[in-house]
Amino acid sequence: MKPQALDHHAAMLRQFRWQVPRQMNIAQLCAKRWATHDNGQGVAVISHQADAPARQHSFAQLQAGANAMSQQLAALGVERGDRVAVVLPQRFETAVAYMALWQMGAVVMPLSQLFGPEALLFRLQDAQAVLAVVDHVSAATVQALQADCPALQTLLNVDDMPWHMQAKAWLMADTLANDPAVLIYTSGTTGPPKGALIPHRALIGNLSGFVCSQNWFGFAPSGPSPEDDNDLPLGSHAVMWSPADWTWTGGLMDALLPSLYFGRPIVAWAGRFSADLAFGLMQQHRVTHTFLFPTALKAMMKAYPHPSTRFQLDLQAIMSAGEAVGDAVFNYCQQELGVTVNEMFGQTEVNYIVGNCAMNGETDSGVGWPAKPGSMGRAYPGHRVAVIDEEGEECAVGVPGDVALHRFDVHGNPDPIFFLGYWGQPEATAAKFSGDWCRTGDLATRDADGYLWYQGRADDVFKSAGYRIGPSEIENCLVKHPAVANAAVVPKPDAERGNVVKAYVVLAAGFKPSDGLVAELQQHVRGLLAPYEYPKEIEFIEALPMTTTGKVQRRVLRLREEERAKLVKTPSLQGVKPPKG
């Protein structure tokens, strides 16, 4: 087990200052400056291929590709400020497309290839995208939608681009830090998705959390700072990989862009995730830093309880986010992977604001703070975070409330992480704030040391017989049982108690559903948590409904239970069993 870091949190918050230039462009910081450093030979992207040798792409190649694509995009009519959809998976050309668009001053609209036609259509129409960058997988789907998207002039297929062509240097757009760079659609609990408009400065706003959660990303604690340019020290070996899609905030802002910002390579893999893939890829490419969802870590833990007997890893840091990690996964990472997982919390509108920085150092480095198993962590340097009530007042220790971020840091300076607003929805933007506090909609409690403890989304928490129930703690408890690969807890409507606790359980390999296993799991939870928290009903399911970013969709399961309850209450249908599945 690695020694815990000493607690330098208060000193780091006190000493930290934001340094955000008035003019900045993400493409300049993540590609162009590195293309002139050491002749641009540093590796930017490593393309992992299952049936062929890996391919390394340099920063010089990244910039050359961006120049070529910028010229093609300009020829197709793309102008500064235009929204351009990028419907590509993790691949070198995705990074090229982003850099090409940003250096033109255009707004990147990343769209997952997992979206169905309706999801794509809504976003393309709402943003009035003028062009879509596609590949052979997404081209037909997007092309079929063009007739219903008057603004969508044409498509650019990266698989048809002559990448060998020599392109002239492109003049970088003189964008301001506050100019829009990314339009990412985030799904709410009600209504259609909202487009969160992210400025160029948000990249800088992400860096304190990224560096802390990645245990300084291979740099010495004195580390690089945003105002450095081509003289950034390359430090020790560091390679980044995350299965998070680069079309989502987690993959884009928490993996791809910060890695390129620091001149470090990132591994691209567009295939399906599996424990074998994760361990094999990290071993092959000597991955040192990673962002893995709790769902992925659970799968890896169940598949390889003792991975060191089969794989040799170079891991220095693991960041995890999206759901509560829980102490079962936390202990696995410490004991079996040799790394203290740094849990992180953020959302598209205000990303990378809370987390841990355990450092895993053998000696005190003067930075970092201990990670508490199961905790979200504490505010990262530069961010003023609190748990607030409905009136916008800070909650007392132990009292649940809404995790919120203040517009200004502890020194009174503007926090650069903030989004610009929801695209075309000023009312929704205003509703996100209580004064200078931006509400996340995620509930947590704060302990006496300032650590936050996740309680769930506001709509995931429910009451049963007067008790307030958060699903995360129960799910974490269930996963500790060897028979459980994953679990989701939702309320089941009940006439007497309002709701009862119901668990949907995905079984680990080698286990089969039975009444005896239900009783065993119920007793397992009853013995570790409060009596009112154990699941009164357990339903086994082949797979949990998940978002494309790896989060469990409890809302889908909750609505299923509500629909079943309606069937039971309908007189003409009494006696009919609820549908299975």
pLDDT bracket for residue 164 (50, 70, 90): low
- CA–CA gap between residue 112 and residue 96 (Å, rounded): 17
pLDDT tens per residue across span 70-114: 999 999 999 999 999 999 999 999 999 999 999 999 999 999 998
Among candidate residues 252, 302, 299, 249, the one with its CA nearest the CA of residue 273: 299
- CA–CA gap between residue 235 and residue 258 (Å, rounded): 15
| More reliable by pLDDT, 552 or 556 | 556
pLDDT bracket for residue 579 (50, 70, 90): very low
pLDDT of residue 219: 77
The size of the chain, in residues, is: 581
pLDDT tens per residue across span 34-50: 999 888 899 999 999 88
Q: Which helix (H) or strand (E) holds 505?
A: strand 498-507
Orientation angle between helical segments 471-479 and 515-528, nearest 10 degrees: 120
pLDDT of residue 441: 87
- CA–CA gap between residue 207 and residue 203 (Å, rounded): 7
Structure tokens at 304: 């390889």
The answer to whether 324 and 551 are in contact (CB under 8 A) is no
Q: Is the pLDDT of residue 1 over 70?
A: no
pLDDT bracket for residue 289 (50, 70, 90): very high
DSSP character at residue 531:
G
- CA–CA gap between residue 559 and residue 554 (Å, rounded): 9
pLDDT of residue 581: 35
pLDDT of residue 187: 65
Mean pLDDT, the chain, integer? 89
| More reliable by pLDDT, 165 or 21 | 21
- In this structure, how many other beta carbons lie within 10 angstroms of the beta carbon of residue 204? 23
Q: Secondary structure of 239-258 in the HEC alphabet?
A: CEECCCCCCCHHHHHHHHHH
Cα torsion 245, 251, 255, 259 to 10°: value is 70
- Sorted by sequence, the CB contacts under 8 Å of residue 535 that are 6+ apart come out as 474, 478, 489, 501, 502, 503, 521, 522, 525
Structure tokens at 491: 């309320």
Q: Is the pLDDT of residue 233 over 50?
A: no
Phi and psi at 21, nearest 5°, equal -65, 155
Q: Is the pLDDT of residue 235 over 90?
A: no
CATH classification for the domain delimited by 25-175, as one of 3.40.50.12780, 3.90.550.10, 3.40.50.2000, 3.90.1150.10: 3.40.50.12780
Domains of the chain: which residue ranges? 25-175, 460-573
pLDDT tens per residue across span 479-525: 989 999 999 999 998 877 778 999 999 999 999 999 999 999 999 99
pLDDT of residue 229: 44
Q: Is the pLDDT of residue 65 over 80?
A: yes
Among candidate residues 214, 213, 250, 279, the one with its CA nearest the CA of residue 48: 279
Orientation angle between helical segments 294-303 and 326-336, nearest 10 degrees: 60
**Domain 460-573 architecture:** 2-Layer Sandwich (3.30)
pLDDT tens per residue across span 356-371: 999 865 557 778 999 9
What helix, strand, coil percent values describe the chain, rounded to 5? 30, 20, 45
* 537-540 and 498-507 strand pairing: parallel
Beta-strand ranges (E) seen in 360-436 are 378-379, 385-388, 401-406, 421-422, 433-434
Share of the chain above pLDDT 70, in %: 90
- CA–CA gap between residue 109 and residue 309 (Å, rounded): 43
* 131-134 and 83-86 strand pairing: parallel
Side-chain-side CA neighbours of 320 within 13 Å: the count stands at 28
pLDDT of residue 195: 96
- CA–CA gap between residue 489 and residue 581 (Å, rounded): 15
Orientation angle between helical segments 92-104 and 59-75, nearest 10 degrees: 60
Structure tokens at 464: 């049963």
If you average pLDDT over residues 374-381, what whole number do you get? 94
pLDDT of residue 575: 34
pLDDT tens per residue across span 416-463: 999 999 999 999 999 999 999 999 988 899 999 999 998 777 667 777
